[in-house]
Structure 1
Amino acid sequence: MTRTPASLVPDPVAAHNRRLGRRGELLAERHLRHLGMVVLDRNWRCDAGEIDLVLRDGPVLVICEVKTRSSSDYGAPLEAVDQRKAERLRRLGARWLRSHTCHPEDVRVDLVGVLAPPGRPVQIEHVAGVG
């Protein structure tokens, strides 16, 4: 009998979390567009990390982190973002600016928490300008 290495076996929990995260990012994007923001980039990556959404809110560049949960059993989605993560997002925003021809009047970091319990209405919490 041939055995498949554990590293090649699909992880259903990880797959579920990726789908949930992607759904949350789409819902957050729709919410922010509804507020009048323009999406400039999605899931931008560099060697230092990833920015979920880069948007323009008038003359302001917005670096946005989206946290999605299916329940609040382990805390609200935005509780997962601490001061260290917010500082990292600011550094990533500076990297994004260096790699693009964009000259905003200001840059801010926003957080969007998406609570998407199965079979229940989705709740979205948007915090503009953290830290």
Structure 2
Amino acid sequence: MDHELASRNKVNQLHELEKFRLHAYENAKLYKEKIKRCHDKHIVPRIFTPGEKILLFNSILRLFPRKLRSKWSGPFEVVRMTKHGAVEIKGETGPPFLVNGQRVKHYFDEDSDRDREALELNDE
């Protein structure tokens, strides 16, 4: 056995392994970018105006069994919305606090039903 030939073969194998690793890294990076674009298409931007009423998703509340407990708490009032999607809200008591804009949704109270028109449909 030639020691010099064996060491060159080992170095060549390491280079081939490094090329394979870099190729796998690039493929994984491209796949992650493609999946991120696919998921980001489904994110709906939510815009809230100051003074608007919203509900906050509450994942910590464990007072009731799973089926009976409400996942939404509120209503809260919007103080301001940041350019990154965070919403500063305040409750009836306590100081205002920041929450992720994806964890809130619009609150429609009884007064919003008054603005809607009633249409009668006739079968003719």
Q: Same fold (TM over 0.5)?
A: no
For the pair shown, the structure with the greater C-alpha radius of gyration is 2
Which structure: greater strand fraction? 1
Larger relative CO (CA 8 A, sep 6+): 1 or 2?
1
How high is the TM-score relative to the length of structure 1? 0.28
How high is the TM-score relative to the length of structure 2? 0.29
